[in-house]
Structure 1
Amino acid sequence: MTNSPTALTVATDITSLETDTDGRTLRRRRNRDAVIASLISLIQEGDLDPTVANIADRAEVSHRSVFRYFDDLDDLARTALETALRDALPLAVIAGVGTGSLDDRIEGVIAARLRILTHTKFLVRVAKAKSATLPEVDRMVANVAAMNRDQFRRHFEIELAEMEPRDRAHVTALLSSQMGFEGYDHQSSVLQRTDEEIADAWRLLMRRLLV
Structure 2
Amino acid sequence: MTNVPTTLSTVVDPSRIDDDTDGRTLRRKRNRDAVIASLISLIEEGDLDPTVAKIADRAAVSHRSIFRYFDDLDDLARTAIETAVRDALPLAIIPGVGEGSLDHRIEGMVASRLRILRRTKQLIRVAHGKATALPEIDRSLSNVAEMTCDQFHRHFAVELSEMDPAEAEHLVAALGSQLGFEGYDFQSRMLSRTDEEIADSWRVLLRRVLR
TM-score category, normalised to shorter length? over 0.9
Cα distance in 2, alignment partners of residues 96 and 176 from structure 1: 20
Cα distance in 1, alignment partners of residues 153 and 88 from structure 2: 21
Q: Which runs of 4+ in 1 moved over 4 A?
A: 6-9
Distance of aligned partners of 1:8 and 1:143 in 2 relative to their CA distance in 1, 3 Å threshold: closer
Cα distance in 2, alignment partners of residues 11 and 148 from structure 1: 60
Q: Structure 2 matches for 1:168-187, cutoff 5 A?
A: 168-187=168-187
Q: Secondary structure at the match of 1:62?
A: coil
- 1:54 counterpart = 2:23: no
Q: Which residue number in structure 1 is paired with residue 29 of structure 2?
A: 29
Mapped contact 2:78–2:136 kept (Cα < 8 A)? yes
Q: Secondary structure at the match of 2:63?
A: coil
Report how many residues are paired: 211
Cα distance in 2, alignment partners of residues 92 and 186 from structure 1: 20
- 1:206 counterpart = 2:194: no
- Unaligned regions of 5+ residues in structure 1, if any? none
TM-score normalised to the size of structure 1?
0.96
Q: Secondary structure at the match of 2:13?
A: helix
Cα distance in 2, alignment partners of residues 43 and 3 from structure 1: 62
Identity %: 69
Q: Structure 2 matches for 1:11-160, cutoff 5 A?
A: 13-160=13-160
Q: Secondary structure at the match of 1:49?
A: coil
Cα deviation for residue 83 of structure 1 reads 0.7
Q: Deviations over 1:127-184 (max 9, x none)?
A: 1111110000000000100110010011000000001122212211121110000000
Cα deviation for residue 59 of structure 1 reads 0.2
Cα distance in 1, alignment partners of residues 195 and 31 from structure 2: 37
- Unaligned regions of 5+ residues in structure 2, if any? none
Distance of aligned partners of 1:135 and 1:100 in 2 relative to their CA distance in 1, 3 Å threshold: same
TM-score normalised to the size of structure 2?
0.96
Cα deviation for residue 11 of structure 1 reads 7.4
Q: Deviations over 1:23-52 (max 9, x none)?
A: 111111110110011001111111110100
Cα distance in 2, alignment partners of residues 147 and 20 from structure 1: 43
Q: Secondary structure at the match of 1:188?
A: helix
Aligned Cα root-mean-square deviation (Å)? 1.5
